[in-house]
Amino acid sequence: MKINDELIVKIEKLSNLGTGIARVDGQVVFIENACPEDEVKIKITKVNKNFANAKVIEIITPSPHRVVPFCPMQNVCGSCQMQFIDYDYQLQLKKQMVEDAMKTIGHIDVKINNPIPSPNIKAFRHKIQCPVSQTKVSKKILAGYYKPQSHEIINIKYCPIQPEICDKVIDFIRNKAPEFNISGYNEPKHTGDLRHIIIRHSSDNGTLLVTLVINATKISDRLSSFAKLIFDEFENITGVCINLNNKKSNVILGDKTICACGQDHIYEKILDKTFIIGASTFFQVNPKSAENIFRYVKDEISKLDKPTVLDAYAGIAAFGVVVSDSADKVTSVEENKESIEKAHEVIKLNKIKNVELHCADTTKYLKSIKKKFDITILDPPRKGCSKESLDETLKHSKQKIIYVSCNPATLARDLKYLCENGCTVESIQPFDMFCHTYHIENVAIINI
């Protein structure tokens, strides 16, 4: 098997990155835009010692689970890798990915429940981050999403997984920016003005916060005027912020954000609690699916009679706030200062008296205390927890750990370590937060 070889194969399953898997003479081939049970003609694009990559050039016999994508750009945009697969089967495949991770990485036998579907599979995405560039000759502003495995921007004018108003705002910015002499960003040369457009949209009341990420160290008059134009054009926009990021990196946001017009936040509601979402606030992109997760965690905590709860890697203390009604006391720990400041506002807004906030690294905080908590909620970033943080969690937890994870691989790794140290995993409940992608959120209930 070599590059440019054309072969006919049957797709066996999906990888944990959403690519189809076939075998040729015993060697694994990863194939983009392929569905299990497809019979396809492929072209080899890369050959390594242990595997090869390929693309589909003809679908000979389609899988019974293959459907026509509802987005005409699905095949070229890198955002919805699985949209050509019917939604119910997507959920089955995601469950299989979790099962595979637990067996091959975690080496644990645990019950994986059927995934809880997203309440909406269109217009569910309420945080939009569009990279921006500019054509060389016509100087046309491009804003959209990257092609798969590249930094080439596909100019997206209609995205059905986000609210329609977001398309209109992005298109307005794209068309009006040149009138203010605002150029698109050239990543290789590190030139140009507008790097990203970020929109936070409230699923509760439909308001928007727009943030322009600018390759600069200060705000120009033309940029301030442009921000005001955007603010005045759309009645649902409550504020326009400008984030300054002149670093040569792939990090989207710089350290400094200035509110140019209106308010620097929107309000979002989860269950009966109201949250304040700023330009750089971490909050789930699919609030309605997140609500299912929060309800599930709260129900688990309610099984104990007013327990003490540690809310670790807390962000704006969303879990702490939501479960506060079911707990005697919640201790929320988050190292990001801005998130803790927002958490203080959220606690005051919701008139909560039993949530205590600490701006600290979780591991360092736990090392500094002696008390134990009935239940610990772990919601770490995608890389998961360190062994040191898991050791400290075990020292300070009495009955249960509820581990919320967006990465089945790191979850499996961490569950393996916890089981090796005396824990048992009661169950894992997947939640579909990121429809039409290979990503899946999981909540693991762990007994100590």
The whole-angstrom separation of Cα 410 and Cα 425 is 15
At 8 the three-state DSSP class reads strand
Measured CA distances, 328 to 28, 115, 378 (Å): 53, 30, 18
DSSP β-ladder status, 27-32 and 20-24: antiparallel
Neighbouring residues of 288: CB distance < 8 A, sequence distance ≥ 6: 118, 119, 120, 124, 203
What are residue 304's phi and psi, to 5 degrees?
-100, 155
Backbone phi, then psi, for 152, in 5-degree steps? -90, 120
Are residues 209 and 129 in contact, defined by beta-carbon separation less than 8 angstroms?
Answer: no
∠ CA(66), CA(67), CA(71), 5° rounding?
130
Burial 74-95 (b: 16+ CB within 10 A, else e): beebebbbbbbbbbebbbebbb
Dist CA 179 CA 177 (whole Å): 5
Amino acid at site 315: G
Give 370's contacts (C-beta < 8 A, 6+ positions apart). Answer: none
Q: Which of 130, 406, 423, 435 is catalytic?
A: 406
Active site residue 406: yes
List, by residue number, the catalytic residues: 406
